[in-house]
Structure 1
């Protein structure tokens, strides 16, 4: 009930300017006003809690510390009420009509200086409050200070340039904001719409939030609590809530840091990699908070691209925000957050790999592809990522992986390089000719099954001072081993390789005796050092220029193989049939190398060979 004549005030020129900016260009989404007003209410309750520690004479001391929202879709109003510190008449004028304590001055100054970072804090009554005018025909602010001897007042305005302050009786302690909505903003007077906004932005506010008498924020800000007091089921419940998931997470990392930044983080690894299952590319899913208020549900720069599979929350009090909290101005700070969190997560994975290898193996089977992506593209964290890479090898059992560090620990003193082979699976690699020479010399070879592996290896290039090289690369040089009896002589090999080069013509760049074959008759080495067989297939799939260039290979033959000895004997006595055999040997080698692109000529040739049987 009013007990005095309303007093009319004109907004300061700066506030008029601020209102115009807020209403027309500051916020990209109108729904943000709910978050801003709830944050202000939370701040007012927090201030009261501190005031209760130093003051004894508090107005309505027993009043609950909570936030209440009420929607009325018929009247098109939204009411937000808190029972916090409240404001006196002077504070209403100072906070809502001038720039004294609103943070507006810093904001306007930052605009005039080209958008320099603003030091305004979340929840400070002022700029966030004005966001209500994006949706409001009029705004009324009823407030009663915590001081018993102060009367209550109502502040009202339509945002057009002036406001009124009037004394009223019968107010509870705190602040009640009644927003009469514009005709096209009636959705914010419906319970469902406001509930969605509260669950999105204000789910972890410290104080109870009630909407039309129903408690909304039932999940606590778990990341700010001590790990020792949190139960497993609480972590699971939070993960399901935050990630909209139905199952339990595979892993979690809960940590806090004070330097170089204040960070509280709770990160989860889900059980499934939906990209691997054929779904669309994952989007960032680690939300950024400042003091439990959502800043960005999916910040793109908070974590590197290869960590897009992570879910969870990062909360930092050190974030200087622009006035709307919708974007962050200090890019250097976000980069620092990125590095701190990424480094901590990589340390966590390293600990898992060392202390819980079976759990890490489960993680790697599902998400190893992301680590490979990072190892190939993230120069900042490359060294830590390479240590986490895992592969099967010629010395491990099937499905058992080894690290590069373990590989190096098994290397002989004479070995200077780390070898790998790319293939569809273990059986394909082991049945091919490229492994024979390495097995004969007891040299370990890593097995790579994924299309991206070759790209990764070419970008990683070395580990622990050892060059990483494909075992089927033309530059590989292997130590001599005793020659088996019955092999063609050097002169015979020279004669045969010359005949093969003449016979096969432009299909081969060179034909020579091989030091890496034991049982297989021949193998093909791609003579194009810049485009391997797997790279060629990838480029062909992407329809890239150069993918259709005719394949030219180096053919290496095994002078101990029965086929080669028979070919040497027949190349002069049965030249036509020997030519068919030579071409078939080359095609067989191309098949093993994954370089045969058209099998039609080979099929016709095989029929000709069968006719001679």
Structure 2
């Protein structure tokens, strides 16, 4: 290098403030300095490519459009080079020494004020071409030396140097190559960035999809193509699978894939995958969200919690949007309204895709439901924005479906009887439990379809849904006028005479006391002697409340309906009329047996002695 005049300049006040903030507080992960520098290099390279395509004359037109990174552990340096548009002296001063735009100055002032107040929720929107991101280099470098030559024919070469304090220097250089070369003299605590393997690791994490080759010590490091930017017709199934395995760190093939682009209401390119398996259901730890957010192929947020709702944490893939305003470090998305809109668009499109798959291939969707149905249920219970679309994806067994066969609410409504008042469901721990209980009797007798709800979350969803397509949703164990009534058949056993029913039911209520709110004759029972009804919610919801309150012994009072045609109930009435004290024990047992059938008795030991007494009476009575 010749002996050139060295010109020393002071950073603009806002730049000094910015350097202090960026170096000391804003970035929580130092690795991302490399992402910023590579992003800048890619932007400069893309601008050069566009200039050439537009017919502009440029220096060194045959230089390859690549990015080069070299590490030197001995010299403790890291060098990032590109063959992009480079900079003139004036551009160096403008881009690296000042902030010319009033909006950017306001951003710096706002940031400084927020820092004083200890706030991190600032609306930031600057992604600088050799601007804000460039200064992140000072997180790891004690000195930054930048060599550059502009693309314009006849342009001179320049060296820009600074230690990140209050000033920088500019001098002429003998560099003849077009583009920019940045040499970082690494800090003592940042020596690891002088190792090639560490640099490759960071590139794999943050910059795998930069559209130009990124070479580390002569070896290409970004080996995976950003296939989400390509047309679907240009991508093979194997390429999709390979990409999925890379981003999901998976071995199995994806179950579903959704590749779409949109220009309205937002510019989006998205590639989403449903994994081959859900390991949460096998007891593995809760999944992290797996959708990465990109802007122009540069990673903005890995495993973004902003871009998809919590229930979509099983989905893997990428979302790329050029419209995202980002904070200075690209770590926190600031425009909440825009991010919320992006979330809504992506989630809505994914739900539409699942609905299409369910209609096009019900058998495959059934397999999806078996693996990932809990996530859909979680969404239906928590995501009120997309609740309607999620509810359409729910599946249930029913008394008219085979074991393991499932139907949708839509299918249920389509095959409802003409005079059917509502959509009915019964909760129970299994199909066997439901079908052996008293609540199904009237529906079986009437040939009415009933959905089976095996989990508390199913009850919660259906209870809060209230209706679907204009049809009420009613739990079979609820006290509801919308439930069907049994028909009296010819030749059927006579019920307790009407004149005896009121005194009998009054006696039954008096005997049970506060354990029930009412005892009445049932219009729903066909074979069982009694059933317990809930005036609110389902029995499984009541059971959950018992467990939460650790109130095992206190069974919630409900309505007891008795079948006045049942031999057991008629027998108790005869004992009552004979003033036999055994009638009271039998009445208590009828209630508790009905409560067991409802799943409400969590500790049945309290009835053991009474059961022995009943057995003793049964085996000793002649």
Provide the TM-score with structure 1 as the length reference. Answer: 0.94
Structure 2 residue aligned with 1:174: 179
Unaligned runs of 5+ residues in structure 1 are: none
Instruction: Give the whole-Å Cα distance in 2 for the aligned partners of 1:19 and 1:475.
Output: 69
Structure 2 residue aligned with 1:372: 377
Paired residue for 2:529, among 518, 521, 527? 521
Instruction: Give the whole-Å Cα distance in 2 for the aligned partners of 1:104 and 1:186.
Output: 33
C-alpha contact 2:423 2:471 (8 A) present in aligned 1: yes
C-alpha contact 2:40 2:130 (8 A) present in aligned 1: yes
Paired residue for 1:187, among 181, 189, 192? 192
Which deviates the most, 313-322 or 63-72?
63-72
Structure 2 residue aligned with 1:486: 493
Instruction: Give the whole-Å Cα distance in 1 for the aligned partners of 2:448 and 2:33.
Output: 66
Instruction: Give the whole-Å Cα distance in 2 for the aligned partners of 1:479 and 1:136.
Output: 81
C-alpha contact 1:96 1:102 (8 A) present in aligned 2: no
Q: How does 1:373-452 map to 2 (within 5 A)?
A: 373-452=378-457
Is 1:497 the counterpart of 2:502 in the alignment? no
Instruction: Give the whole-Å Cα distance in 2 for the aligned partners of 1:180 and 1:231.
Output: 44
1:198 shift after superposition: 1.1
Partner secondary structure for residue 5 of structure 1: coil
Structure 1 residue aligned with 2:90: 90
Is 1:163 the counterpart of 2:146 in the alignment? no
C-alpha contact 1:103 1:120 (8 A) present in aligned 2: no
CA distance 1:109–1:508, shift in 2 (3 Å): closer
Which deviates the most, 531-540 or 65-74?
531-540
Is 1:280 the counterpart of 2:288 in the alignment? no
Instruction: Give the whole-Å Cα distance in 1 for the aligned partners of 2:66 and 2:449.
Output: 66
Instruction: Give the whole-Å Cα distance in 1 for the aligned partners of 2:68 and 2:475.
Output: 66
Paired residue for 2:316, among 307, 311, 315? 311
1:145 shift after superposition: 2.3
C-alpha contact 2:59 2:151 (8 A) present in aligned 1: yes
C-alpha contact 2:148 2:178 (8 A) present in aligned 1: yes
1:562 shift after superposition: 2.6
Q: Deviations over 1:319-360 (max 9, x none)?
A: 112222221221110111011111111111111111111121
Paired residue for 1:533, among 536, 539, 549? 539
1:303 shift after superposition: 1.8
CA distance 1:540–1:383, shift in 2 (3 Å): same
Partner secondary structure for residue 531 of structure 2: strand
Instruction: Give the whole-Å Cα distance in 2 for the aligned partners of 1:372 and 1:233.
Output: 32
1:119 shift after superposition: 4.9
1:67 shift after superposition: 1.1
Structure 2 residue aligned with 1:38: 38
Instruction: Give the whole-Å Cα distance in 2 for the aligned partners of 1:116 and 1:602.
Output: 64
Instruction: Give the whole-Å Cα distance in 1 for the aligned partners of 2:269 and 2:558.
Output: 56
C-alpha contact 2:552 2:603 (8 A) present in aligned 1: no
Structure 1 residue aligned with 2:76: 76
Partner secondary structure for residue 273 of structure 2: strand
Which deviates the most, 145-154 or 253-262?
145-154
Q: How does 1:158-237 map to 2 (within 5 A)?
A: 158-237=163-242
Partner secondary structure for residue 140 of structure 1: strand
C-alpha contact 1:102 1:126 (8 A) present in aligned 2: no
Structure 1 residue aligned with 2:469: 464
Structure 2 residue aligned with 1:8: 8
1:381 shift after superposition: 1.6
Partner secondary structure for residue 397 of structure 1: coil
Instruction: Give the whole-Å Cα distance in 1 for the aligned partners of 2:224 and 2:397.
Output: 43
Structure 2 residue aligned with 1:25: 25
Instruction: Give the whole-Å Cα distance in 1 for the aligned partners of 2:214 and 2:206.
Output: 12
Q: Deviations over 1:10-55 (max 9, x none)?
A: 2223322222222223322222211110001101111111122234
Partner secondary structure for residue 163 of structure 1: strand
Aligned length, in residue pairs:
609
Instruction: Give the whole-Å Cα distance in 2 for the aligned partners of 1:199 and 1:168.
Output: 33
Instruction: Give the whole-Å Cα distance in 1 for the aligned partners of 2:269 and 2:602.
Output: 54
Which deviates the most, 366-375 or 125-134?
366-375
Which deviates the most, 72-81 or 33-42?
72-81
1:552 shift after superposition: 1.9
Provide the TM-score with structure 2 as the length reference. Answer: 0.92
Unaligned runs of 5+ residues in structure 2 are: 115-120
C-alpha contact 1:395 1:444 (8 A) present in aligned 2: yes
RMSD over equivalenced CA pairs, Å = 2.3
Instruction: Give the whole-Å Cα distance in 2 for the aligned partners of 1:170 and 1:19.
Output: 28
Partner secondary structure for residue 99 of structure 1: coil
Paired residue for 1:600, among 596, 605, 619? 605
Structure 1 residue aligned with 2:117: none
Q: How does 1:98-113 map to 2 (within 5 A)?
A: 98-100=98-100, 104-105=104-105, 107-108=107-108, 111=111
Q: Deviations over 1:440-485 (max 9, x none)?
A: 1222211111121111112111111111110110224424512452
Q: Deviations over 1:569-591 (max 9, x none)?
A: 34444824333333222222111
C-alpha contact 2:67 2:214 (8 A) present in aligned 1: yes
